[in-house]
Amino acid sequence: MQLNADFSKRAVVHAAKLDWKASPMPGVERRMLDRIGDEVARATSIVRYAPQSQFSPHVHDGGEEFLVLEGVFQDEHGDFPAGCYVRNPPQSRHTPGSKSGCTIFVKLWQFDPADRTHVRIDTNKMPMLDVNECKGVMLMSLFKDTRENVRLERWTPEPRSSSIPMEDLSFSSWRVASPKEARHTCRSPGCGCPLASTSARAWVPRGAVCG
């Protein structure tokens, strides 16, 4: 499968308008945002676990990172409620599932093959910091190395952007913006400060788009 596979081009998706696609595991469905490959793929998706659903134990040969959007994600490493950021590097192993159900925004096979850094952060317990170069933007650093910079951003409305819809923002990689009922994702090879017509939060993985 090739879906939004040209990383030199901008891509925008209103995820709430996509159909849910069944995964190989009963009770687990996906909304695919980009994908190169079939079941084992370099992929960005929104994944929904029904209550009591679970994947079999498996190894992430290419790594996995995700942000919990709703509910509580669970594996043998703990319970991760909405707002948690988890980074499972290449060769990590787990048994993911959810007793109560959850929705996550997840990226697969987008790591440096040598990366072995595990990250588990509850963003509900971390402070947001002002971004001096971008008025109205606050951020929380989630992971940073020489290859990428992953962060959570909060945008406040700016008068100059009141007529600019979410689809016209300039992003450097996939971003997922809330609230839930207006969730968009956007990937762009360009970069720049976001302009928001309403308050929003975004998970921002910068760099490593074409890895």
* pLDDT tens-place string over residues 8-50: 787 888 888 899 999 999 999 999 988 898 888 888 899 999 9
Residue 103's pLDDT band, with cuts at 50, 70 and 90, is very high
**Domain 2-122 is of which CATH architecture?**
Sandwich (2.60)
Q: What is the pLDDT of residue 206?
A: 61
Extended strands (E) in 90-211: 92-94, 97-98, 102-108, 119-122, 129-130, 137-144, 149-155, 175-177, 184-187, 200-206
- For the ranges 67-76, 93-102, 178-187, which has the lowest average pLDDT? 178-187
d(CA 177, CA 182): 8
Q: Look at residue 203 and tell me whether its pLDDT is greater than 80.
A: no
* pLDDT tens-place string over residues 134-176: 778 888 999 998 888 888 888 777 643 333 333 333 333 445 5
d(CA 90, CA 111): 7
The domain segmentation of the chain, as residue ranges, is 2-122, 123-206
Q: What is the pLDDT of residue 182?
A: 42
Q: Give the burial string for 94-110 (b: 16+ CB within 10 Å, else e).
A: bebbbeebbbbbbbbbb
d(CA 25, CA 28): 6
d(CA 52, CA 127): 33
The mean pLDDT of 97-124, rounded to a whole number, is 94
The mean pLDDT of 181-204, rounded to a whole number, is 57
The mean pLDDT of 81-96, rounded to a whole number, is 95
Q: What is the pLDDT of residue 48?
A: 96
d(CA 201, CA 182): 11
pTM given for the model: 0.81
pLDDT averaged over every residue in the chain: 80
